[in-house]
Amino acid sequence: MIKSLPDRINEQINKITEDMRNLSGRIPRPVVVAMDGASGSGKSTIAQVFAGKLQAAIIPLDAFFSANIPDAQWDEFSVIERLGKVFDWNRVRSLAIEPLRKKSQAKWRPFDFLAGIQQDGTYKLKNEETIRDPSEIVLLEGAYSSSSFLADLIDLTILIDVPVEERHKRLLPRDDSAFLEQWHKRWDVVEAYYFEHLRPKTSFDWVIEG
């Protein structure tokens, strides 16, 4: 169930929904929208709201986490290297976005977080495929979804902007404290670099705040 949202956010969502519809009427193929934001900002919740209004197909970018990289190896990478390697961008492109842009069905095996870390430090992909049927609106939901790696496929960018203190508080019930401590140490610097230097707030088409 999607929790109720403040009126001011619903007003923003309605305006952006209308913008998506107008854009879809001008582009003779499905429109791809990047829903970006740091961890805990509420991207998944907002994406579900848009999907309900527009019958949109959602691509969760987290499903394409680079599961083949051993967990400890991430700490050996620089901030820029982590950003470049965090997702399997080629799989996102070839298995998800490009088929849906061509009005074909998309299929992929997502990263399996619940399976845990394997003996070699990597993660598994799920055995079952995720399937998305074509839609006139495609929502790519996840941090870094507006990055240069996929920019040629994106028609509209949205930032979900929430203060870091609130985002961290939202994450507390989701995972144990040891995992979150390591996660923040590893990825907070990447998010800060990305949103401060590569995709600042002013670079997005729309910003939903709070």
C-alpha angle 152-208-134 in degrees, rounded to nearest 5: 45
Q: Which H helix or E strand runs over 159?
A: strand 156-161
Per-residue pLDDT, 141: 98
Does pLDDT of 175 surpass 90? no
Q: Which two tokens stand for residue 53?
A: 């209004």
Give 123-147 pLDDT, tens digit per residue: 999 999 999 999 999 999 999 999 9
Per-residue pLDDT, 42: 87
Tell me the C-alpha distance between 61 and 192, whole Å.
19
- pLDDT grade, residue 41 (50/70/90)? confident
Phi–psi pair at 59, nearest 5 degrees: -110, 110
Residue 50 vs residues 53, 66, 105: alpha-carbon distances, Å: 5, 27, 20
**Are the beta carbons of 100 and 138 closer than 8 angstroms?**
yes
Does pLDDT of 105 surpass 90? yes
Question: What residues contact 122, with CB distance under 8 A and at least 6 apart?
Answer: 67, 68, 69, 70, 71
Phi–psi pair at 21, nearest 5 degrees: -60, -45
Does pLDDT of 108 surpass 50? yes
What letter does residue 56 receive in the DSSP assignment? P
In order of start, what are the domains of the chain with their CATH numbers? 29-209 (3.40.50.300)
Q: Which two tokens stand for residue 158?
A: 């949205």
Per-residue pLDDT, 1: 44
Does pLDDT of 27 surpass 50? yes
pTM for this model (two decimals):
0.92
Does pLDDT of 32 surpass 90? yes
Does pLDDT of 30 surpass 80? yes
Mean per-residue pLDDT for 23-45? 94
Query: Which residue, 164, 181, 189, 150, is CA-closest to 61?
Result: 150
Which of 35-39, 181-185, 192-196 is least confident? 181-185
* DSSP assignments along 138-185, one per residue: EEEESTTTTSTTSGGG-SEEEEEE--HHHHHHHHTTTS-HHHHHHHHH
Mean per-residue pLDDT for 76-98? 98
Q: Which residue has the higher pLDDT, 173 or 40?
A: 40
